[in-house]
Amino acid sequence: MTPLSRVVIGSLLILAWPTAHAADGQKIFTQGGANPAAMACIGCHGPDGKGIAAAGFPRLAGLPAGYLSKQLQDWRNGTRKQPVMEPLAKALSDDEIKAVSAYLASLPAEPVADLRRQQIADDPTTRLALYGDWGRQIPGCVQCHGPGGSGVGEHFPPLAGQPAAYLVAQLNAWRDGSRSNDPNQLMVGVAKAMTDDEVKAIAAFFARPAHPEVTP
């Protein structure tokens, strides 16, 4: 064996070794985790991970891996409470959480229009989304969630394209205390300052696929 081929084979072995032991994210998504209580995600989050809007099941495809794994850990540590996902998250191992989050983050998501480049309708919901209401200490949602609500970095999740029923449920969860996992309580104040009608309207605003009525 030449020294070069020895190096090549050696590096192949090093590359192959961790994958043989690591959890398989795609398999967890389609078939579930090693513990049968960790049901396959695909059944509720849809074949492409884009969620099932009619049921209020959120999209996971293209969400940041850091955000996804944090949510699963939050169900385990009790700062996020929900009867379906809580036992499921508890049945996943740390390795499985890491693997399935990385897999989901790699799935393609629908493109989101950039609101900054669009003609913005002047209605109260759009104003709240873009500029907030400083009289009530509500910053604009897009200031943290990115243009069009498309998400920013690992910790500010996208709102765009999530089912309206899911977005309403999350804002209400902060209001009733069943979700208290937001870093520095960034969301609880925002959610509590909003009226029921605003919660519904803002959810419908971001749930619209890509603001098709205005072209970039």
Site for ligand HEC in 80-119 (CB under 6 A): 82, 84-85, 88, 100
HEC secondary structure over the chain: CCHHHHHHHHHHHHHHHHHHHCCCHHHHHHHCCCCCCCCCCHHHHCCCCCCEHHHCECCCCCCCHHHHHHHHHHHHHCCECCCCHHHHHHHCCHHHHHHHHHHHHHCCCCCCCCHHHCCCCCCHHHHHHHHEEHHHCEECHHHHHCHHHCCECCCECCCCCCCHHHHHHHHHHHHHCCECCCHHHCCHHHHHHCCHHHHHHHHHHHHCCCCCCCCC
- Shortest distance in whole angstroms from residue 104 CB to ligand HEC: 7
Q: Is 170 in the site for ligand HEC (CB under 6 A)?
A: yes
When binding is defined by CB under 6 A, the residue of 145, 148, 150, 188 that contacts ligand HEC is 145
For ligand HEC, the closer of residues 103 and 113 by Cβ is 103
When binding is defined by CB under 6 A, the residue of 71, 115, 146, 164 that contacts ligand HEC is 71
Binding site for ligand HEC (CB under 6 A): 28, 38-39, 41, 43-45, 57-58, 60, 68, 70-72, 82, 84-85, 88, 100, 128, 138-139, 141, 143-145, 155-157, 159, 162, 167, 169-171, 181-183, 186-187, 190, 202
